[in-house]
Amino acid sequence: MSPHLAASIPAPVGELCDQLRRAGYRAWLVGGGLRDLLMQRSPKDWDLATDATPPEMKKVFRRVIPTGIAHGTVTVLHRGEPYEVTTLRGEGAYSDGRRPDSVYFVRNIEDDLARRDFTVNAIAYDPLTDRLIDPFGGLQDMRARRLRTVGSAEERFGEDGLRVLRAARFVATLAFDLDPATEAGIAPALRSFECVSRERVRDEWLKAMAAEQPSRAFEVMRRTGILTVTCPELMKQVGCAQNRYHAYDVWGHSMACMDACGSGPIHRVAGLLHDIGKPQTRALSDKTQDFTFYNHEAVGAEMADDWLREYRFSNDERRRVVQLVRHHLICYSSDWTDAAVRRFIKRVGDDHLEDLLALGRADVQAKGRPVEEELRLLIELEERIATVRAAGSAMGVRDLTVSGKDVIRHLNIRPGPLVGRVLDALLERVLDDPELNQKEALLELSEKIVEREGEGPDG
Ligand code: ATP
Ligand code: MG
């Protein structure tokens, strides 16, 4: 198809095929690597298929890791890089909707392609003969930007529940449309989808987040019922009207916000979940005759925390998202004092500030109406944060000129929670008045704080 295909295959991949051929086997480029190459995108990895069995591959290649021997997959290390090489195979029935009951090796590449999920993923290229093997019309679908299952959608989705989510993900990452018959096959397969592990769902969501517009995947999930299975709270946003400052319902706003959060999958998860507490907290104000969402950021942070835990996000990812959800309501106005700016920095946490401001911008842009004034205020806040930071004033306990040890020694108290409380109280005063951050002054102040705590020096 493409005269440049042979030329665009990296040398090491060609060498692997060549080694197999010299040993009397055949080898094809398959899967996502070939698909991306055909779509003129840079492949992130290369999948190879061969008629050699794993024991035979062990004889051909020097360094072979048996990654999935039972499924015919080994990882070959070549010039320091790993390559997945899989023996041509077919699949038996799937009785658990998760993995085939049996895997058997086949002789023909066509038989191997037939077990694959989507037509654009079921193309093979033989670098020796420079021939593309495309039994299911994958190239045509690629040109039409259409995602279609190999064979009956209902059957293919029913066999392996993960495929419905892969469908949603590819609609976003490839910017394809879902073929209507393929889409219609999703709802009947949701029972199989329910068997898919939380970790695999998380991985697919994170992969979808790498798309230019992850909302494409989430719209598929909404339409087909996938989202009702994975995150019913998000489904409640659909049709949930906002206050008059918004053009979209909460769902449309979340989609636009996620798409506008461009800097990494975790930011996008935060964009997706930032208003998850809104449907639950919505109330109609008598005074304004408009909707309010009182405390939705705190309610939403709890909900996000539960959901991210359930879906096995790492502790670090979960904390970052929850912190962003909790503080996403940035109510900055120009009359904030510098002390208020310092308190804001302390509350949000230095490490989360950039992320929060980025989410704030996306949140504003996703209102679907002119937002110049809101953006201006956010930029002003950013500038004021920079100024306050440049002044070097204390923003956390560790910036104080006294340490826990100093406090213990000066007050003659034992190490314990009281020390932390004293330091927190000192920081509160320093946030108001940075000039106070001097050792003598703080030690003197610590005496008063302890007196007020009602516990005199002990020990
Ligand atoms: P990416 O690597 O970008 O996530 P991919 O298409 O390469 O996408 P992989 O999971 O790496 O996906 O799988 C490689 C190939 O194996 C796919 O292109 C497809 O042909 C086949 N495949 C993977 N998962 C499935 C599945 N659940 N059902 C059927 N075929 C699959
Ligand atoms: Mg791949």
Tens digit of pLDDT for each residue in 194-245?
Answer: 999 999 999 999 999 999 999 999 999 999 999 999 999 999 999 999 999 8
- Identify the band that residue 1 occupies on the pLDDT scale cut at 50, 70 and 90: very low
Q: Which residues surround ligand 2, an ion (CB under 5 A)?
A: 32
Q: Is-contact 401 438, C-beta < 8 A?
A: yes
Question: Contact, 380 vs 334, CB < 8 A?
Answer: yes
DSSP 209: T
d(C-alpha 21, C-alpha 51), whole Å = 10
Q: Quick one: which atom of ligand 1 is closest to the CA of 31?
A: 18
Statement to judge: residues 61 and 8 lie in one domain: yes
End position of a domain, from candidates 230, 257, 290: 230
User: Is residue 453 pLDDT above 90, yes or no?
Assistant: no
Last residue of a domain, one of 87, 108, 141: 141
The region that residue 27 occupies, defined by phi over 0 for left and psi between -120 and 50 for alpha, beta otherwise, is: beta
Domain housing 56: 3-141
- pLDDT confidence of residue 459: 39
**Residue 340 domain-assigned (yes or no):** yes
- Rounded Cα gap, residues 260 and 270, in angstroms: 11
CB 44 within 8 A of CB 36: yes
Taking the C-alpha atoms of residue 1 and residue 21, their distance in angstroms, rounded to an integer, is 23
Contact criterion met (CB below 8 Å) for 89 and 72: yes
Residue 34 CA to ligand 2 center (angstroms) comes to 9
Task: Provide the CATH number for the domain around residue 185.
Answer: 1.10.110.30
Based on the domain organization, do 44 and 163 belong to the same domain? no
279 and 199 in one domain? no
CB under 6 Å to ligand 1: residues?
31-32, 47, 116-117, 121-122, 160, 162-163, 207
Final residue before a domain boundary, out of 171, 201, 230 = 230
Going from the Cα of 163 to the center of ligand 1, the distance in angstroms, rounded, reads 9
pLDDT score at 2:
54
For residues 95 and 333, what is the distance between their CA atoms, to the nearest angstrom? 60
- Kindly give the distance from the C-alpha atom of residue 32 to the centroid of ligand 1, in angstroms, as a whole number: 6
Residue-level pLDDT at 91: 81
The rounded distance, in Å, linking the Cα atoms of 157 and 164 is 6
What average pLDDT does the chain have?
A: 94
What's the pTM value of the predicted model, to 2 decimals?
Answer: 0.91
Asked if the structure places residue 459 within a domain, the reply is: no
Ligand 1 atom 25: the closest Cα is on which residue? Answer: 117
User: Does 174 lie in the same domain as 61?
Assistant: no
Identify whether the C-beta of residue 319 lies closer than 8 Å to the C-beta of residue 305: no
Residues 260 and 331 in one domain: yes
Q: Which atom of ligand 1 is nearest to the CA of 207?
A: 4
> How many domains does the chain divide into?
4
> CA–CA distance from 112 to each of 122, 158, 160, 311 (Å)?
9, 19, 16, 32
Q: Are residues 194 and 236 in the same domain?
A: no
pLDDT value for 208:
98
Say if residue 163 is exposed, middle or buried (CB neighbours under 10 Å; 0-12, 13-18, 19+): buried
∠ Cα 419 425 431 (to 5°): 135
Q: Please report which confidence band the pLDDT of residue 455 belongs to, taking 50, 70 and 90 as the band edges.
A: low
- Taking the centre of ligand 1 as the mean of its atom positions, its distance from the CA of residue 325, in whole angstroms, is 33
